[in-house]
Structure 1
Amino acid sequence: MGTFNTKLAGVTYDCPNGTNRQQVIRKYVKVGQRVFLVREPNNQYSPDAIGAWIVHKGFFKNTKYHIGYIANSISCRLAGEIDGGKKVTGRVKDITGGCAGASFGVNIEVNANYED
Structure 2
Amino acid sequence: MYRSFPSHVVVFGDDCRHKLVFPEDWTALLTGVCSPVEVLRGPNSRIWPMQLVKVTEDTRTNMCLDIGWESFVIENYLVDGEIMIIYYAGNREFYVRIFSSFMIERRARIEPIQRDENM
Q: So what's the TM-score if we normalise by structure 2?
A: 0.37
Larger radius of gyration: 2
Say which structure is richer in strand.
1
With normalisation by structure 1, the TM-score equals 0.38
Larger RCO: Structure 1 or Structure 2 (Cα < 8 Å, ≥ 6 residues apart)?
1
